[in-house]
Structure 1
Amino acid sequence: MSVKVMSAVFERYPEGGGEMILALALADHAHDDGSHIYPSIETLAEKTRQSERAVQYQLRRMEKSGWLILVGQKKGGRGNSREYRINAEWINGAELARISERSKGAKTAPNEKGANSDIKGATGDTKGAKQSTKGCKAFAPESLEPSEPSENHQPARRAPRIALHVELLNIDLPEWLPFAAWDAWCEHREAKATGKNPIPWTRAAARVSLKKLEQIHARGMSVVDAVDESVLRGWSGIWEAKSVAAEGTAGGAADGWWAGEAGWREQGRRLGIDPQRFQYFEQFKAKVCKTLGPGPWMEHLLAAVSRESEERGEALYAYLNDVHRDRLAQPEAA
């Protein structure tokens, strides 16, 4: 995998949608100079969640534009792989149009019917994910603090959801975390992010998940069991398998008490948590959730807060997973 080439695709690849995802998948196989790309059509279709025919069409477009170069055809054929390389000039900063002009009769392939560069809903911005945090309240009762404003006052750039999913799936993992477990968690969280009550699967959420798995591993517990249990029970966060007992500690858990204010106050009285200690009632609810542990009440609160603001949802997600912002001070996932 070449992080260098994948970063270039995110920054400069001229098309969007499925073709961009295919470009990321090719970069995932490439060396830093763009060479040694020979996955099968079947593999690329599986990685990009597209049909083999769509992948073949997009590969032809890439070749015509000059971005992708066919190295050899000897390995071509059903079940075999051709070898490609990504144009080194483009990797080093050349514009795609200039590259294609030097190719024999090759021009940037126009968009054809049914081959639009954008996917409906796959925009760079997410509802509620604005730079301004006017009206945004801190959720963590103890340690989460508002983030400092950006110096350039420009909105944060966000990858389209499909591209972001590929990025998060291909994070460099520690040796103690099997890829199969992380793959299962990414698939589960992506499903949660697009369900009826979505809880966003973002870079920040991925970092929280990795930190929580690191904590579980440091305690000598199985990260695979933790992921399996969390996926099985439909949680948005990762908790140790033993913590399922916490679900039985919430009186009246089956009656949906979390849907109304009276239910939260009752749980607070039962747990000895006084809402008067908190500036906002939402902070009180977060404390109740964290004390009870994972359950439908936590999923309900996360979904409700995320609908209002992705930033507030990320802050709440980190707090409930016992991962504070200072522990997340690291570069964005590559």
Structure 2
Amino acid sequence: MSVHLMSVAFSANLPDTEIPVSGENHTVKASTLKFVLLALADHANDEGRGAYPSIDTLAKKTSMSRRTVQRALDALIQLQIIKCVGTSEYGTDNYSIFEAAIYRGDSGTKAVGGVTLGQEGGDSGAVKSVPESPESS
């Protein structure tokens, strides 16, 4: 477990990233990328090597579906933040995490704007206020 890489991942400014899925583009949200990167960093050493958790392990750790984890890993590879460097002795993919790529921020991948699509204005729910306390005498 690399606390250092986990700290770096927490501070990462990752973009929403489009990846090809069955001939169409699919957007992987920045929050999904960050959480999967954090889970992967939890398995790596401080140099970013030796991270070979199974897809099931990452899915369980992040409470995401296997497919969402796979798409996030594909996007992190596309962003050149991680690289699959082989297969572990357990048959799982072995990843390296590139700290410099996390700091780099913009890797040239097309990012989607950081606003919620289809929403105008602010909060649509009822807003409650707290009554003021009486003045002391």
Mapping of 1:36-51 within 5 angstroms? 36-51=50-65
Aligned to 1:108: 109
- For the residue of structure 2 that corresponds to 1:12, the secondary structure is coil
Partner of 1:6: 6
- Give the length in aligned residue pairs: 105
- Structure with greater helix percent: 1
Q: TM-score, normalised by structure 2?
A: 0.64
Q: Is the partner of 2:11 in helix, strand or coil?
A: helix
Aligned residue among 2, 23, 41 for 1:27: 41
Does the 8 Å contact 1:37/1:85 carry over to 2? yes
Measured in 2, the distance between the counterparts of 1:34 and 1:13 equals: 18
Please identify the structure whose Cα radius of gyration is greater.
1
SS in 2 for 1:29: coil
Alpha-carbon contact 1:39-1:82 (below 8 Å) kept: yes
Q: Distance in 2 between matches of 1:34 and 1:118?
A: 32
1:162-199 CA deviation, whole Å, 9 max, x = no partner?
xxxxxxxxxxxxxxxxxxxxxxxxxxxxxxxxxxxxxx
The one-letter code sitting in structure 2 at the alignment partner of 1:69 is K
1:180-259 to 2 correspondences below 5 Å: none
Q: Shift in Å at residue 29 of structure 1? A: 0.7
Distance 1:49 1:117, change over 3 A: farther
Partner of 2:79: 65
Percent identical pairs in the alignment equals 35
- Flag the structure with more relative contact order, 1 or 2, with Cα contacts below 8 A and sequence separation at least 6: 2
AA aligned to 1:71 is V
**Structure with more of its chain in strand, by fraction:** 2
> Normalised by the size of structure 1, how large is the TM-score?
0.28
Runs of 4+ in 1 over 4 A off after TM superposition: 116-119
Q: Is the 8 A contact 1:66 1:96 kept in 2?
A: no
How many angstroms does 1:18 deviate by? 2.1
For residues 130-141 of structure 1, the aligned pairs below 5 Å read none
Q: CA deviation at 1:19?
A: 1.9
Question: In the TM superposition, what is the alpha-carbon distance from 1:23 to its structure 2 partner?
Answer: 1.0
**Contact 1:61 / 1:109 at 8 angstroms: preserved in 2?**
no
| Alpha-carbon offset, residue 117 of structure 1 | 7.3
Q: In the aligned structure 2, how far is the partner of 1:118 from the partner of 1:82? A: 34
Deviation at 1:84, TM superposition (A): 0.4
Residue identity in the other structure for 1:2: S
Deviation at 1:62, TM superposition (A): 0.3
Q: What are structure 2's unaligned runs of at least 5 residues?
A: 16-29, 117-131, 133-137
Q: Over the residues paired in the alignment, what is the CA RMSD in angstroms? A: 3.1
Q: Which runs of 5+ in 1 are unaligned?
A: 101-106, 120-134, 136-334
**Deviation of 1:110 (Å):** 3.8
User: What's the CA shift string for 1:60-97, capped at 9, x where partnerless?
Assistant: 0000001111111x45xxx8310001114236x4x132
- Name the CA distance, whole Å, in 2 between partners of 1:43 and 1:87: 21
Call closer, same or farther: CA 1:18–1:88 in 2, change over 3 Å.
Answer: closer
Describe the shift of the 1:68–1:109 C-alpha distance in structure 2 as closer, same or farther (beyond 3 A).
farther
Q: For residue 66 of structure 1, what is the amino acid of its counterpart?
A: Q
Contact 2:77-2:83 within 8 A present in 1 as well: yes
Distance 1:41 1:117 in 2: 28
